[in-house]
Chains A and B, each alone.
Chain A
Amino acid sequence: MNWTYKIKNREKNFKNFFLDIFQKKNLFSEIIKKDLKTNFAQSLVGPGYLFLIPFIQALIFNFLLTNVANVNFSGEIPNYLFYLSGFIFWSLFSNGALRGSQGIINNIKLIQQISIPRTIFIISPIIYNFIVFLVSFSIFVAFNIIFILKTDFTISISIRFFIIFPLIAYCIFLSLIYALAVASLSIKYRDIVYANSIIIQILMVISCVLYSSGNLTGYLSYILYINPLTLIAETFRWAWFGSDFGITLNQIISQLIISFALFVFSIKLFLNKDKMMVDLI
């Protein structure tokens, strides 16, 4: 006899993980729509809050570092644009990572009522955040044009711009790793939910968002070997402003290996928890 499917006590494997995503891809748009409509229900600016975040963050750090502390990490680039360029990509990572990692906890009710692959709840906030990023990025471009018109700051159009596309993909990939790992741990240990935003902050400080890789000297330069996030802001500034690129090939290879290993680890962790999710949550 041909059975449609079989339910038993077993762990899903890597193949199931990806199959789940592709077979149910029509669910993403509905879940993202739901999130867009419900996350900001009864608020005036709505998702506007999200794409304003990097601009405000850049403003705060520009004030702290340029006006109060009088330091200059930016070289030729206007200070505000330098910090903004860091935060634009940082928000793509951090908001995706934060919201993705809360996806399971936020959708407990759905998970307990309907049989749907739970990866969807982690991936859809990340896609949602990518849409927010596109809006922020276009505002960033507009800011650049204003700076070019009003000051003597210039950007030379070059082939380097094309590296931005794989960079966006890599950044989303890293936020997926974080979200998968934290979401699966949070099913059992809620501590990580409370620690989540502070972890993101720590990561921000060590990820070249506020300075360039050249400022990491001595022992600190080992960060460039182990933290895959450093590549993002550094590469973006190189591509966009044509600033110095301070990460060596060895460091890039080491970062890529680490991020791939973390990816495999986080999927493994997620699949391990996926089985008992409804009972533990």
Chain B
Amino acid sequence: MNFNSNNPLAIKISNLEKEYYLGKNKFLGLMGKISSKNNELKKIKAIDNISLEIKTGDRIGLLGHNGSGKSTLLRMVSDITIPTKGEILINGKVCSILQGRVGFHPELTGKENIYLSGVLHGMNKEDIDNNLEEIIEFSECRNFIDTPLKRYSDGMTIKLAFSILSHLDGNIYIFDEMLATVDQFFREKTIKKIKSKINHKNSSLIFVSHQIENIVELCNKVVILENGKLIFNGDLKEGVEKYKSLNQ
């Protein structure tokens, strides 16, 4: 059951691998080299031979336990770290929030952070000027907008981060665990916003959450990772069942 079989590809991942060293950093100085008994450090495959195609219009719910490689995969798709093997082909502009932070600086005020983060994510200054009111309104932080970010709560920071991101002009959106700390009301508003954004521009989404209800509400496909391997890629209902059965 594939809804978008005719749509063009947005992301094509082929034979992707990412290795990390276990234990202390191999390069940690002379003392480390002398004291370690075996110089060969163990490697772990955080991502193990994953191939995946994401089409425009796909809304992927990425599921998996902690340490299954979800964030590593998203980091590679967002071009923050590079794969050890394989390649990712991207068609469009990627906008990503990883771990709920988007380059904010705690000493800057909310408004200054909107500009900083917006520019870092590829917005023009004029775009931000035009959208500033809307961003502040959506974030529900109007009263605190001239206060340094270090005085904000986690939830407020996420709200501000999301309202900036929702005004970015991209077509591949990536959200990693961003709805965990916001209240119910904002969660619903956010989901509505994401949906309208994606339908409106026919873009695609990769969404990571440990809360199944978010995935069900937002996504039309599920990808499950376990120990760096892709163990499921397909329909939403089946995927959720599969994920639930993993937990038992």
Check if A114 sits within 8 Å of B80, measured CB to CB: yes
Check if B27 sits within 8 Å of A114, measured CB to CB: no
Check if B79 sits within 8 Å of A7, measured CB to CB: yes
Q: Using known A-B contacts A27-B119, A30-B120, A191-B29, determine if residue A7 contacts B82 with beta carbons closer than 8 Å.
A: yes
**Least Cβ–Cβ distance between B8 and chain A, in angstroms:** 7
Task: Report A109-123 CB contacts with B as 1/0, cut-off 8 Å.
Answer: 111111110000000
Check if A112 sits within 8 Å of B80, measured CB to CB: yes
- In the complex, chain B residues whose CB is within 8 Å of the CB of A280: 25, 27
**Least Cβ–Cβ distance between B139 and chain A, in angstroms:** 18
Listed stretches A34-42, A71-79, A261-269; interface member: A34-42
**Least Cβ–Cβ distance between A32 and chain B, in angstroms:** 11
Q: Check B230 for interface membership: any CB of A closer than 8 A.
A: no
Total A residues in contact with B, Cβ cutoff 8 Å:
34
Q: Using known A-B contacts A26-B125, A34-B105, A114-B121, determine if residue A3 contacts B27 with beta carbons closer than 8 Å.
A: no
**Least Cβ–Cβ distance between B145 and chain A, in angstroms:** 15
Q: Check A9 for interface membership: any CB of B closer than 8 A.
A: yes
- In the complex, chain A residues whose CB is within 8 Å of the CB of B27: 188-189, 280
Check if B90 sits within 8 Å of A4, measured CB to CB: yes
Chain B residue nearest in CB terms to A2: B91
**Least Cβ–Cβ distance between B161 and chain A, in angstroms:** 10
- In the complex, chain B residues whose CB is within 8 Å of the CB of A188: 27
B80-110 residues with Cβ-Cβ distance < 8 A to A are 80-94, 98-99, 101-103, 105, 107-108
Chain B residue nearest in CB terms to A115: B79
Check if A9 sits within 8 Å of B83, measured CB to CB: yes
Check if A5 sits within 8 Å of B90, measured CB to CB: yes
**Least Cβ–Cβ distance between A242 and chain B, in angstroms:** 45
- Counting chain B CB atoms within 10 Å of each CB, which of A41, A109, A113, A115 scores highest? A113
Bound together, the chains give a CA A41 to CA B116 distance in angstroms of 16
Check if A278 sits within 8 Å of B80, measured CB to CB: yes
Q: Using known A-B contacts A7-B90, A114-B103, A280-B27, determine if residue A1 contacts B9 with beta carbons closer than 8 Å.
A: yes
Q: Using known A-B contacts A3-B91, A8-B86, A189-B27, determine if residue A41 contacts B81 with beta carbons closer than 8 Å.
A: no
Chain A residue nearest in CB terms to B120: A114
- In the complex, chain B residues whose CB is within 8 Å of the CB of A1: 8-9, 91
Bound together, the chains give a CA A27 to CA B119 distance in angstroms of 6
- In the complex, chain B residues whose CB is within 8 Å of the CB of A5: 79, 89-90
Q: Using known A-B contacts A116-B120, A189-B27, determine if residue A110 contacts B90 with beta carbons closer than 8 Å.
A: no
Listed stretches B70-78, B210-218, B234-242; interface member: B70-78
- In the complex, chain A residues whose CB is within 8 Å of the CB of B92: 4
Q: Using known A-B contacts A2-B91, A4-B90, A6-B87, determine if residue A26 contacts B119 with beta carbons closer than 8 Å.
A: yes
- In the complex, chain B residues whose CB is within 8 Å of the CB of A41: 107, 148
- In the complex, chain A residues whose CB is within 8 Å of the CB of B103: 109-110, 113-114
Q: Check A160 for interface membership: any CB of B closer than 8 A.
A: no
Q: Using known A-B contacts A41-B107, A113-B102, determine if residue A8 contacts B119 with beta carbons closer than 8 Å.
A: no
Contact partner of B78 (CB less than 8 A), chosen from A6, A10, A115, is A115
Q: Check A152 for interface membership: any CB of B closer than 8 A.
A: no
Q: Check B124 for interface membership: any CB of A closer than 8 A.
A: yes
Q: Check B115 for interface membership: any CB of A closer than 8 A.
A: yes
Sample of 20 more A-B contacts, CB < 8 Å, known A33-B112, A109-B103, A113-B98 = A5-B90, A6-B90, A7-B82, A7-B83, A7-B90, A8-B83, A9-B83, A9-B84, A26-B125, A33-B116, A34-B105, A34-B112, A113-B80, A113-B99, A114-B78, A114-B103, A115-B94, A188-B27, A189-B27, A191-B29
Please give me the 6 A-B residue pairs with the lowest Cβ-Cβ distance, nearest first: A8-B87, A115-B79, A41-B107, A38-B107, A7-B88, A30-B119
Q: List 20 A-B contacts (CB under 8 A).
A: A3-B90, A4-B91, A5-B89, A6-B90, A7-B87, A8-B83, A27-B120, A33-B112, A33-B116, A37-B107, A38-B107, A109-B103, A111-B80, A113-B102, A113-B103, A115-B80, A115-B94, A189-B27, A279-B81, A280-B27
